Amino acid sequence: MFTGLVEGTGKLRGRARRGPGYRLEIATDLGPLELGESIAVSGACLTVAAMTSGAFEADISLETAEKTTLGRLAPGSTLNLERSLRLGDRLGGHLVSGHVDGVAVVR
């Protein structure tokens, strides 16, 4: 679960086709990350699949690429990042799951 409050930002270094989806490389100074950790990336819950110098990698499905901005953003785009909540963490915002259920148009 997430609070919806942005903890830091990152930059999309790249998006490469991988299996039935894509692998994103996201540069960040969020601090030490762990493999398998959940990170909300511009609102979408992603799992840290690999770590490189100053960045982490996460896989997204085709559905995630189509239903979020993560499939359309150009390399160098800024991304909002938030670590998942730990039991006992302070709730400074509200609880959000980070999973996309649909698409809406803002008018």
d(CA 52, CA 96): 28
Q: What is the pLDDT of residue 84?
A: 80
Q: What is the pLDDT of residue 7?
A: 83
pLDDT of 52-107, one tens digit each?
889 999 999 999 999 899 999 999 999 999 988 666 666 666 656 556 666 778 89
Strand pairing class (38-41; 21-28): unpaired
d(CA 107, CA 95): 25
pLDDT of 1-24, one tens digit each?
666 778 899 999 999 999 999 999
pLDDT of 24-67, one tens digit each?
999 998 888 999 999 999 989 999 999 988 999 999 999 999 98
Domains of the chain: 8-83 (2.40.30.20)
